[in-house]
Amino acid sequence: MEQKNPLSLEERTRTPRKVEIVSNMNDLRTGQLMDQIERANRTLNFLSKRRQIVLVERNHDYLDEILTKVLPELCPKHLLSYQNHHLPHYIVRDGKVEIYQNLEPASPVILVKARVKHPCSVAEKVPRKAVYFGRVSERHDNYKLMVGDVLGLEVVVRDSADVDMVVKQILQMPFFKLEHYERHRKNNGYSSDHLNTKYENGNAVMKGLEVEIQVTTLNSHRNSIYNPNQGHDTSYGAEKLGSRHHLGDRQLVIVGNSVDVPEDMCFVKRTDGLLVANVPNPVQKYLLIVPQKH
């Protein structure tokens, strides 16, 4: 029997597209985003014709929704603090990483750290993964981007004896579906258990939303902050930034809210409720689409 080719994104969404789109969101949300982007493009003409679009949505509202369910389970009594994204090649500004300190001294969980992956960090990771894997989408899904940690949580526990217990607690949360589980034990001393999950809350737009959850000990967490071999702005980050990065004949389009764009460094246009910026990231240039608040 002849095997049929998989439907393209435009066939699946029944929306005419002239280029292939690889997205980290499901078809419904991808179609909504592309409708908005293409309307703006008819005025501003910022998309490159006939070039594959690698589309990444990074939305703080999604993270807030997830935290309203996770925090009552892991640390119902908590204190919120922040730290800044700090990689040296970050051009746009995207607020802070949220840190929720647990106020219950008897709990195995010390803190929960939450962040949406920074646009410039996405621009570094996507082409690096494309070079490493030879493609921009997952093997099992031609339309799923190889970035499963746009939304990320780090759960810091007291010691190694608490890791398995907290991992089990997370996996019992009904809104997370485990896709992949891996224990990271890196040569630089970093140690954590990674849970790649899909989040389900009944909202069709967020269906299949990927969330990476790391469970690590306080000692490993402290080392990742204070040990120069693990800090993102030192040798660990330099190793990533020194890797090969190449997207080929593709255009990277990142959509996100709560982003502050320095207009003296980026070429900025506005239309149809959107800000469109060409960000000259030294690793990978990208288009940043920011919905404007009214």
> What is the rounded distance in angstroms from the CA atom of residue 21 to the CA atom of residue 36?
14
Report residue 14 as tokens. Answer: 């029944």
Please, which residues have CB within 8 angstroms of residue 85's CB and are 6 or more apart in sequence? Answer: 94, 96, 97, 115, 118, 121
Of 70, 35, 51, 42, nearest in space to 199 by CA? 70
> What is the rounded distance in angstroms from the CA atom of residue 262 to the CA atom of residue 279?
9
Give the DSSP letter string of 10-35. HHHHT---SS-EEESS-HHHHHHHHH
Please work out, in degrees rounded to the nearest 5, the angle formed at the alpha carbon of residue 232 by the alpha carbons of 134 and 188: 85
The three-state secondary structure class of 231 is coil
**Backbone dihedral angles phi then psi of residue 77, each to the nearest 5 degrees:** -105, 110
237-253 mean pLDDT: 82
Which H helix or E strand runs over 224?
Answer: helix 218-226
> What is the rounded distance in angstroms from the CA atom of residue 176 to the CA atom of residue 164?
17
Q: Which domains does the chain have, with CATH numbers?
A: 20-294 (3.30.460.10)
The residue written with tokens 């419904």 in the block is 28
Contact between 46 and 52 (Cβ < 8 Å): no
The pLDDT of residue 5: 44
Of 151, 163, 146, nearest in space to 197 by CA? 151
Which H helix or E strand runs over 212?
Answer: strand 209-217
Share of the chain above pLDDT 90, in %: 64
Task: Give the confidence band of 14 by pLDDT, cuts at 50, 70, 90.
Answer: very low
Ranges of H-type helices in 75-173: 119-133, 163-171
Residues forming a β-bridge with 236: none
Model confidence pLDDT, tens digit, residues 257-278: 889 999 999 999 999 899 999 9
Model confidence pLDDT, tens digit, residues 47-69: 998 899 999 999 999 999 999 99
Task: Give the confidence band of 246 by pLDDT, cuts at 50, 70, 90.
Answer: confident
Contact between 203 and 62 (Cβ < 8 Å): no
What is the DSSP code (8-state) at residue 77?
S
Model-level pTM? 0.87
Which H helix or E strand runs over 153?
Answer: strand 151-157
User: Residue 172: is it exposed, middle or buried by C-beta count within 10 angstroms (0-12/13-18/19+)?
Assistant: exposed
Of 246, 150, 254, 259, nearest in space to 198 by CA? 150
The pLDDT of residue 12: 44
What is the DSSP code (8-state) at residue 204?
G
250 compared with 239, residue with greater pLDDT: 250
